[in-house]
């Protein structure tokens, strides 16, 4: 088997602890996930192994050195994701450093996986972008970051955030309070994402001024949304009629982002607005479809394992149903 080796130096102006982790914790995380040998002495890294692994680890440590030079301290989870990204894609992860937005706390929001990077690039390049994927993949959060960034750069005059109001096992009519108070819980996740990017006082002012609007999808009927960045969240709970209504609200100098998870529909027994949308819009220019999966989950690591367990269970159920169907078919013959 061919082997290769390379030596990397951590520059004097870079904090080695940020590259290797406290007590070399990041180095151990990397070693556990590779067959290559890594030795760290003083400020020199020696890497040896197969040419493929050595190349990947060289790119990984080069990325970590750049992160450390910028003052960032990658977490163990971020290092694992970066290593996985390098193994699955030839994409240069150094491009992930391009900030989308700085929150009011000074935190940089940027894509953390290849899928998220494609999602961000699609939003930049297309007027309408659909993003489909499981919980925890950052569909809504990244769209919100792009919307607030566009607003700050004066690329649009307002941001419109909407989602369908769908009862999930409880009757909306029996909830206490006024109509607005009944609706608030359904749009609360959008408020949470917004206030994570701008302080609550400033966010409240923008909402009062109508610069940022958060409303149920039903409120979009009959409108034309010009000069706006519009996000439709939880789109799996729309009907085909609602989806058509929403997409035809598109006005001049506007950008639409539609997010959803087709595995978490609350419209039981009815067709969803996302069911055939790719087939309907196939070949339409300026419309992009991005699919995220469990490898793009950036919440707690357990979320990714939960999504994987549900996928495995659903696949096993389908296989059992298929076998039962095949058995019945043979009996009938």
Q: What is the pLDDT of residues 290-299, one digit of tens each?
A: 999 877 877 6
Please give the pLDDT value at position 219: 86
Q: How many domains does the chain have?
A: 3
Q: For position 171, what pLDDT does the model report?
A: 44
Q: Domain end: 49, 77, 97, which one?
A: 97
Both 255 and 114 in a single domain? yes
Say whether both 174 and 134 belong to one domain. Answer: yes
Asked whether residue 134 falls in the same domain as residue 208, the answer is yes
Closest to 225 measured CA to CA, from 164, 288, 158, 285: 158
114, 245: one domain = yes
Of the pLDDT bands very low, low, confident and very high (cuts 50, 70, 90), residue 314 is: confident
In a domain, 58, yes or no: yes
Residue 83, in any domain of the structure: yes
pLDDT for res 327: 59
Residue 304 domain-assigned?
A: no
Same domain, 17 and 144: no
- The CATH number of residue 51's host domain is 3.30.1370.10
For residue 103, tell me if it sits in a domain. Answer: no
Say if 114 falls within a structural domain: yes
Are both 34 and 167 inside the same structural domain? no
What is the C-alpha radius of gyration for the chain, rounded to an integer number of angstroms? 23
- Is the pLDDT at 275 greater than 70? The verdict is yes
248 is a domain residue? yes
| Last-in-domain residue among 97, 118, 146 | 97
- pLDDT of residue 143 exceeding 70, the answer is yes
3-class SS string, the chain: CCCEEEEEECCCCCCHHHHHCHHHHHHHHHHHCCCCEEEEECCEEEEEECHHHHHHHHHHHHHHHHHHHCCCCCCHHHHHHHHHHHHHCCCCHHHHHCCCEECCCCCEECCCCHHHHHHHHHHHHCCEEEEECCCCCCHHHHHHHHHHHHHHCCCCCEEEEEECCCCCCCCHHHCCCCHHHHHHHHHHHHHHHHHHHCCHHHHHHHHHCCCEEEEEHHHHCCCCECCEEEEECCHHHCCHHHHHHHHCCECCCCEEEEEECCCCCCCCCCCCCCCCHHHHCCCCCCEEEEECCHHHCCCCHHHHHHHHHHHHHHHHHHHHHHHHHHHHHHHHC
Q: For residues 303 and 219, give the distance between their C-alpha atoms in angstroms, rounded to a whole number.
A: 33
For residues 181 and 125, membership in a common domain is answered with yes
Highest mean pLDDT among 168-177, 215-224, 225-234, 304-313: 225-234
Q: Does one domain contain both 137 and 270?
A: yes
Same domain for 294 and 202: yes
Question: 56 and 117, same structural domain?
Answer: no
Task: Note the pLDDT of residue 168.
Answer: 43
137 and 285, same structural domain? yes
Range(s) of the domain holding residue 65: 4-97
- 128 with 46, same domain: the answer is no
Pick from 75, 97, 119: which residue ends a domain?
97
């Amino acid at each position: 088997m061919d082997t290769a080796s390379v030596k990397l130096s951590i520059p004097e102006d870079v904090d080695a602890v940020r590259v290797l982790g406290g007590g070399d914790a990041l180095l151990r995380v990397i070693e556990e996930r590779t067959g290559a040998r890594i030795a760290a002495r003083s400020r020199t890294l020696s890497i040896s192994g197969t040419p493929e692994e050595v190349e990947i680890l060289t790119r990984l440590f080069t990325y970590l050195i750049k992160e450390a030079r910028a003052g960032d301290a990658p977490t163990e989870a971020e290092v694992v994701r970066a290593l996985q990204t390098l193994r699955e894609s030839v994409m240069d992860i150094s491009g992930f450093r391009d900030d989308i937005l700085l929150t009011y706390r000074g935190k940089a929001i940027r894509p953390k996986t290849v899928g998220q990077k494609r999602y961000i690039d699609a939003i930049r390049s297309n007027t309408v972008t659909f993003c489909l994927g499981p919980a925890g993949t950052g569909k809504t959060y990244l769209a919100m970051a792009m919307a607030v960034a566009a607003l700050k750069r004066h690329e649009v005059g307002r941001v419109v955030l909407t989602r369908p109001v769908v009862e999930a096992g409880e009757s909306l009519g029996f909830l206490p309070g006024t109509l607005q108070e009944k609706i608030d819980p359904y749009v609360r996740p959008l408020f949470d994402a917004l206030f994570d990017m701008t302080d609550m006082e400033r966010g409240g002012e923008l909402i009062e001024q109508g610069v940022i609007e958060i409303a149920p999808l039903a409120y979009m009927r009959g409108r034309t949304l010009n000069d706006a960045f519009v996000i439709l969240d939880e789109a799996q709970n729309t009907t085909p009629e609602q989806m058509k209504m929403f997409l035809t609200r598109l006005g001049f100098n506007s950008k639409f982002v539609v997010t959803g998870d087709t595995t978490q529909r609350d419209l039981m027994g009815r067709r969803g607005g996302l069911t055939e949308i790719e087939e309907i819009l196939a070949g339409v220019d300026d419309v992009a479809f991005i699919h995220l999966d469990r490898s793009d989950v950036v919440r707690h690591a357990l979320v990714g394992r939960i999504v994987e367990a549900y996928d495995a269970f659903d696949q096993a159920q389908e296989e059992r149903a298929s076998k039962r169907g095949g058995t019945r078919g043979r009996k009938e013959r």
